[in-house]
Structure 1
Amino acid sequence: MSADTWVRRSRADMARAVAADIPAGSYVNLGIGLPVTVVDHWSADQEIIVHSENGILGMRALAEGEEPDPDIVNAGKQPVQLVSGGCYFHHADSFAMMRGGHLDYSVLGAYEVSAAGDLANWSLGETKKAAAVGGAMDLAVGAKRVHALMEHTTRDGRPRLVTTCSLPLTGAGVVTRVYTDLATIDVTPHGFLVIDMIPGLTRAELQERTGAPLRFEREWS
């Protein structure tokens, strides 16, 4: 089947897929970049409590037409607001929440994820470029579940889902589920298990774009 017969998920579709899988009432941290856009796809009645590592609990996206407050920003310095009852606190308290197992989910971007759930998301290994891990290591090991949100391949077509990460690790064996522009994939003791994939894409085409063996949900049902 030609690649022209299927369409990759948009970034909004990827974020929407993550949002749909997180149950109401969860405490969630959303990483900088694409992961933070997940907040746009929750409604107030779901009561999902969003944490930002710069010291916010109860973060929400700005409503349409709402004036931004330059003093209220997320960890990526984007303007946000608080739900009723939301609060601010010291950076040290924020990291205590992250490290102490108080977050149900952490949604992080990734450069690579291995079949064992290893996460590489802070450095491309380029010696002439500065890289900063921020709170990613704390989120990777402190949250009860870690979801990676990423494009399936690099711009030049190399797989980001691999047998073994080649980039510096953020955390070992931490990722539980991966959302890409092609598929949703669980990390299991048997490796990558495909939960769903975009319409029109074949298993063989998905495997060609993945650097580790894939299994499919029906094979394990």
Structure 2
Amino acid sequence: MEAVRAAFRDECARLEEVLRGLDEADLDRPTPCPPWAVRDLLAHVRTGAGRLVDMLAAPAPDRAEVDAAAYFGAAKFTPEVDNARIDSARREARELPGVREVAEGFARAWRSADAAIAAQPPGRLVRTRHGDPMTLTEFLRTRVVEVGVHGLDLADALDRRPWLTPTAAEVVAELLAGGRPMPNGLGWDPLTLVRKATGRAALTDRERTLVDRAGFRWLSFGG
């Protein structure tokens, strides 16, 4: 838990720092997650980062049945669910129209979640909005993925170097690889693995050959 919580805090604090340096025009830039503009993607990330507040206020399930990898199963991301997610982010984006409001809204969301986490006993279980019973630690891994991977999308939209923090990169890369070592010869650092495994950077012919030859399959996320 402590390593995952540190990754969540590091990545959220870094994104908060970036947001406080944006200008109004930045919010309307297109992103690699169409049809979202930056403001829409940030609304989605803000909601995801703060989701644990309500989850931890609800009764805990009796047992955990889903881990972080299974949480991202494609079955959850039906066209109906995906369309609702897109529309919800766009509505929420309109509620915080300015850069200052966006930055402060994200800061409140992730800091409130972190405070709620700090008050929990070891082994706390939660139930997700999809109905999945999980350990708090496993669900927090999914939050690191959301903030970290969408941070890459935001960096691309804002024409900035990726700011993925080392702690978050390690958590996300380990999850994407399913705990398996990378095939020999790739030489990827965690940031490269995250970009390649999530389709945010294309595989070269050589990389694809090495991956296929090793029979390696990283986890596939539905959205």
Larger relative helix fraction: 2
Structure with bigger strand share is 1
Same fold by TM-score, threshold 0.5 exceeded? no
Name the TM-score class by shorter chain.
under 0.3
What TM-score, normalized by structure 2, do the two folds share? 0.25
The TM-score normalised by the length of structure 1 is 0.25
